[in-house]
Amino acid sequence: MSNSIKLAILGLGTVGTGVINLINDNLDELKRRSGRDIIITEVGTRRQRDDIDTSITQNSDLMAIAASDNVDIVIEVIGGTTLAKDVIMQAIKNGKHVVTANKALLAEHGNEIFAFAEENNVHVAYEAAVAGGIPIIKVMREALAANKIDWLAGIINGTGNFIMTEMRDKGRPFADVLEEAQELGYAEADPTFDVEGIDAAHKLALLASIAFGIPLQFDKVYCEGITGITLQDVNYAEELGYRIKHLGFAVRRDGQGNSEDAGVELRVHPTLIPQDALLANVNGVKNAVLVNSHPLGQTLYCGDGAGAGATASAVMADVMDLVRVLGSKSGDEQNSSEKNNHGHHVPHLAFIPEQLSDTPILRAEQMITGYYLRVHAYDSPGVLADITRILSDAGINIDAILQKPAHKVGQVPVIILTLPVVESQMNLAIEKIEKLDTITDKVVRIRLDELA
């Protein structure tokens, strides 16, 4: 058995370069922990790099690298969902283990990729795809393996968290903070994936599948961004004892006796949470995931969610797991049909594939949350009574009401917090409120969760 494990790194951007630097910096530590020499034999890059060791083959043909006999593990950090998918499938076909940081690819095509990996007796590892350096995938697949996960909530996009933190702490408008986030490299030139919640939805799809043992279903994640959040709402939330965070939620619902309402909520949206909640105090570009499980209870995992160091750390954690799997086999066993089966590694989505559940994903109108409502009305008698009557008739319980001084002559903002209610009930109530002659604008709604 060879004492070396040969890696190919596809993509030499921030993450790929970070992986090379990590290996160079911690080479002795890696060998001490694994008992093997970990070497990079090939890198995939569109142009020749002068700063790459001459012993490493540089090649622009990624498909050839994925099939190379000189590679044991393929690290895919090129991104995207087209070429990356083709390369990973090629690597799997040729018996290579794969490590990827590509959350979009796995969220959209993971079911197919994982099934193909199972068929070919190799493993696709993806710790770096969710929350950067936080080992949340490993925690949920392994450390919480004996627990039943009831729900999880997470700050899983650093750009959005940076924007909401700056708006709250410095009173800066959304557009101003977004521009700075782009200048700092936290947001892309086209920030849509970050600010509209798509990036977080990709990650949530992965977390939910591991939590509940369901197939990946990114297309069923409810997704709402932060572009409509104003300083006015940030300040009102603070006054009421809450903070607004852009969160992803995966929640198991039992339907309370109604089987039609039983299922899983998958939702990404701005959320009011109590100021003293742990997630409320995770600021800047940090990520955090709060998991509520039985019997353990609530546990919080927090750290850097992006960047070369954090992501490279997660990539190499996966590599080390695979090195140990490869090292536990003799040469003959590695070539057998039993290579790296589930007797030697945790299943991709934590559950044995045959045991994945067909639990339905609930529709948006079935979701249950509390609400923050901002209603602008004429300052005339009976307005508040009309609003509260409509909410009461819809079966919506009010938790708090705040009436603010007029912003325009004769018009006042009324802030209402409600207890949890089914989304469809709130939709009907808002529709009726907006039809009142005394209401001057669309009702602003932001979901609210006590994280209890």
Q: What is the CATH number of the domain that holds 431?
A: 3.30.70.260
Mean pLDDT of 39-68: 94
Name the residue range of residue 34's domain.
4-133+308-355
From the candidates 6, 203, 245, 339, give the one annotated as an active-site residue: 203
Same domain assignment for residues 269 and 339:
no
Which of 16, 175, 191, 216 shows the shortest CA–CA distance to 8? 16
Is 433:443 a contact under the CB 8 Å cutoff?
A: yes
pLDDT in tens, 382-391: 999 999 999 9
Rg value, the chain, Cα: 25
Same domain assignment for residues 411 and 442:
yes
The dihedral through the CA atoms of 200, 206, 208, 211 has a sign that is: negative
Mean pLDDT score of the chain, rounded to an integer? 93
Task: Report the share of the chain in percent with pLDDT over 90.
Answer: 84
pLDDT for the residue 331: 46
pLDDT surpassing 60 at residue 265: yes
Same domain assignment for residues 153 and 295:
yes
Same domain assignment for residues 121 and 230:
no
Same domain assignment for residues 210 and 295:
yes
Q: How many domains does the chain have?
A: 3
Same domain assignment for residues 271 and 217:
yes
Same domain assignment for residues 29 and 81:
yes
Beta-strand runs (E) in 143-280: 148-155, 222-223, 242-254, 262-274
pLDDT for the residue 328: 61
pLDDT surpassing 70 at residue 177: yes
pLDDT for the residue 344: 55
Same domain assignment for residues 337 and 274:
no
Is residue 203 part of the annotated active site? The answer reads yes
Same domain assignment for residues 265 and 218:
yes
361: in domain: no
pLDDT surpassing 90 at residue 171: yes
Same domain assignment for residues 168 and 272:
yes
Which alpha helices (H) appear in 95-188, and where do they start and end?
Answer: 103-119, 136-138, 158-170, 174-183
Q: What are the residues whose beta carbons fall under 8 Å from the beta carbon of 24, sequence distance 6 or more?
A: none
Structure confidence at residue 339 as a pLDDT band (50, 70, 90): very low
Same domain assignment for residues 288 and 150:
yes
Same domain assignment for residues 87 and 160:
no
Could you count the other beta carbons within 10 Å of the beta carbon of residue 441? 13
